[in-house]
Amino acid sequence: MNKDELLRSMNEAIVAGNKAAAAALGAEAVRSGADLLEVIEKGYVPGLQKVGELWEQGEYFLPELISSAEAMKAAMAVLKPELDRKNIEAQRGGKVVIGTVEGDIHDIGKNLVASMLQAGGFEVYDLGADVKLERFIEKAEAVGAGIICLSALLTTTMTNQKRLIGLLREKGLRDKYKVLVGGAPASHKWADEIGADGYAENAVAAVKLVRTMSGGD
């Protein structure tokens, strides 16, 4: 398989959500001594972008999105040890702490965002659901994350997104972190009102937002 074929197949494996193919193509790239950063950037990543577009157009739904994210992670699992061995720094998106705020046990949307961020190359610390507000800050401090993502499904628990920002201020840490909010009741207006750094309506938009916030493209 020549390089163009390899890159195209990688793209297709992600779009099809084919985990086995995505991993096998990664192994093929390692074996043939291909430029691994190039296969990530020109093979897999465009596939993931295509999936995001198909989702935004209403062609793909949650199962397809998850399958593609899983395929991307499978490919990276093959490439990562090889990159480490060669001491090559893959372009990382930075560290993100994410969770559903306390009082709220809904985690479907949060899990999807976490999965897509991971697939997108971010180092994701997923604290789960019903997370005490202090824990977001403790974790972010401990791992040196730059971004905190807060999910809430209920109109009653979304106020905890606001409370976390207050808590950061009290601790004198507000400027240290970008705080992003999401969930069914949240909105751009809500994010503005509570002084959050951003809002994303869905998982695909969330990845774009986190990328912008972490100083990427």
Partner 1 sequence: MTLPLLDLVRIRTVLLDGAMGTELMARGLPQGTAPEAWNVERPGLVKEIHGEYFAAGADVVSTNSFGGNALKLAGHGLGGRTYELNLAAARLAREIAPAGRYVAGSMGPTGKFLKPQGEFTEEDFAAAYAEQARGLADGGADVLLVETQYDLREALAAVRGVRSVSSLPVFVTMTFNAFPRGYFTLMGDTVVKSAAELEKEGVGAVGANCTLNSEQMVGCVRALRASTDLPIIAQANAGQPVIGQDGRVGYSQGLEDYVRFVPEIVRAGAGLVGGCCGTNPAFIRAMARIIKKERS
Per CB under 8 A, 190 contacts partner 1: yes
Find all residues with CB under 8 Å of 131, minimum gap 6, and list them.
Answer: 99, 100, 101, 102
* Cα 196 from Cα 188, distance rounded (Å): 9
Find the part of the chain contacting partner 1 (CB under 8 A) among 5-13, 62-70, 84-92, 166-174.
62-70
Would you say 151 and 161 are in contact if contact means Cβ atoms under 8 Å apart?
no
Per CB under 8 A, 1 contacts partner 1: no
Per CB under 8 A, 11 contacts partner 1: no
Name the minimum Å distance from CB 195 to partner 1.
Answer: 13
Query: Between residues 62 and 143, which has the closer beta carbon with respect to partner 1?
Result: 62
Cα angle 173, 177, 182 (rounded to 5 degrees) comes to 125
Per CB under 8 A, 61 contacts partner 1: yes
DSSP 174: G
* Cα 149 from Cα 57, distance rounded (Å): 25
Find the part of the chain contacting partner 1 (CB under 8 A) among 3-11, 36-44, 60-68, 137-145.
60-68
> Can you list the positions of beta strands (E) in 83-122?
95-100
* Cα 143 from Cα 25, distance rounded (Å): 32
Sign of CA pseudo-dihedral 157, 189, 187, 166: negative
> Which DSSP helix (H) or strand (E) runs through 69?
helix 62-85
Selected from 184, 208, 214, 216, the binder of partner 1 by CB under 8 A is 184
Per CB under 8 A, 189 contacts partner 1: yes
Selected from 13, 97, 107, 117, the binder of partner 1 by CB under 8 A is 107
The 77-106 site mask, x for binding partner 1 (CB under 8 A), equals -------------------------xxxxx
Query: Between residues 128 and 216, which has the closer beta carbon with respect to partner 1?
Result: 128
Name the minimum Å distance from CB 30 to partner 1.
Answer: 26
* Cα 181 from Cα 190, distance rounded (Å): 9
User: Which residues of this protein are in contact with partner 1, per CB under 8 A?
Assistant: 58, 60-64, 66-67, 102-108, 129-130, 155-158, 184-185, 187, 189-190, 193
